[in-house]
Amino acid sequence: MAITSELQHTVGKTAGFSGTSLHTGEKVSLKLHPAPVDHGIKFKRKDLQDEPTIDVKIDNLKTVERATTLGEGAVRVHTVEHVLAALSAMGVDNAIVEMDANEPPIGDGSAQPYVDLIKKAGLTAQEQPRKFFDVREPMHVESKTGALLVLLPDDTFRISCTQAGPNNRFAQFLSTEITSAIFEREIASARTFVYYEDVQPLMEKNLIKGGSLENAIVVRGEAVLSKEPLRFADEFVRHKILDIIGDLALVGRRIRGHVVAVKPGHAANAELARVLAREQARRSAMRTPRAVPLGDGGLDTDEVMKILPHRYPFLMVDRVIGFEGENKITAVKSITINEPFFQGHFPGHPVMPGVMQVEAMAQVASLLLFKLAKTTSRIGYFMSADGVKFRKPVLPGDTMFIHAELTKSRGERLAKAKCHCVVNDAVVSEGELMFTFLDK
């Protein structure tokens, strides 16, 4: 099955295996379950109360020291890059990865066990098109450690990687297109490798209890220590490519572009994923409908006022354009010179206060939450605003489109929404807002 296929895929059936986790040395079982379209990949912690899940997305990246760790709230999953590389390269768009520990089995230090697992589960095509990120212009990230990643336009997904160890030991280069067949044959079985001087302090801290020559290659000086001979003469650079594929899976879309990587590492890979996710958000915002339709699914001013308790001069929503599915809403606010805040906020240079844009986002998110709860007998109170950024000034005469997406809700009381405001196809502000609901 080629990963160039235009349809989304999930696994055909549930399949699993058990093994040892790298950092704790404990036994862990992992299962792959099918998931519906647009679900993406989620990790499920079977060993915790309520079996919480973590979405595979760059916003949930917690640390990248030696391995990739994802988390939501207090829940974490560590060392996920080999699983993600196999799922991405073998063409799995939607799946639940269930584990009974905080880390998947390390296997032999490669992605081969996961390729075998995916083949055991099989693949099923789904009825929705795949989501792609097409590279339109060169993008790059550089790190203080000397890592450089450049992404160039290409019709396929290709990686050209130069790997070099300390003092440029074991310098290797490989350039290849990434298809499921090539990944399975050329990349998946390349194992993790470590430099003895890097892992010695970890061993002393008792941090890699599951690590051994069974699941990693140790380089000491010019010597290569491993249980079996090298699988490829250039096994190190192949494993670096494997890590790049796994870390870029955090973009949540298939990339059509050419990654040129020099001395890559998890931190630089994640930074590139972050750059792509930001660019994708910018492109999505630019596709916002500009005309304000009166069609189905929207709410006019009177209907908005029946739901929200706010009144002039504090009502920040003129109209709801529409709802998308259960958890997205788009609304609009026309900014006129008659807004009361312009009198006191830089009178000679009227600019809409950022705090009013946050209030507009909060009101739009509340409309979505009240629609979901089918009641307006409660009032939504702000609890926190995270990652708030103001990117461009909003001026009199602007039409501001306000987007909110419900990302989390706990019972009837707590909810989290990701919001952004758009003027002239550009994001002017954004933030993640948390609410609690109390009875009036």
Which positions are catalytic?
266, 345
Dist CA 39 CA 156 (whole Å): 24
DSSP letter string, 42-65: EEEETTSTT--EEE-SGGGEEE-S
Tell me the two tokens of residue 61. Answer: 């990246």
Dist CA 305 CA 296 (whole Å): 18
Backbone phi and psi for residue 375, each to the nearest 5 degrees, phi listed first: -150, 145
Contact of 191 with 109, CB cutoff 8 Å: yes
DSSP character for 191? P
The continuous run of DSSP H or E covering 127 comes out as: strand 123-129
Contact of 358 with 394, CB cutoff 8 Å: no
Task: Please list, in sequence order, all residues whose beta carbon lies within 8 angstroms of the beta carbon of residue 165, skipping any fewer than 6 positions away.
Answer: 171, 195, 219, 236
DSSP letter string, 244-307: HHHHHGGGSSEEEEEEEEES--HHHHHHHHHHHHHHHHHHHHHTS--S----TT-B-HHHHHHH
- In this structure, what is the dihedral angle of CA atoms 287, 291, 293, 299, given to the nearest 10 degrees? 80
Backbone phi and psi for residue 54, each to the nearest 5 degrees, phi listed first: -125, 125
For residue 43, the tally of other CB atoms under 10 A from its CB is: 27
Alpha-carbon Rg for the chain, nearest whole angstrom, is 24
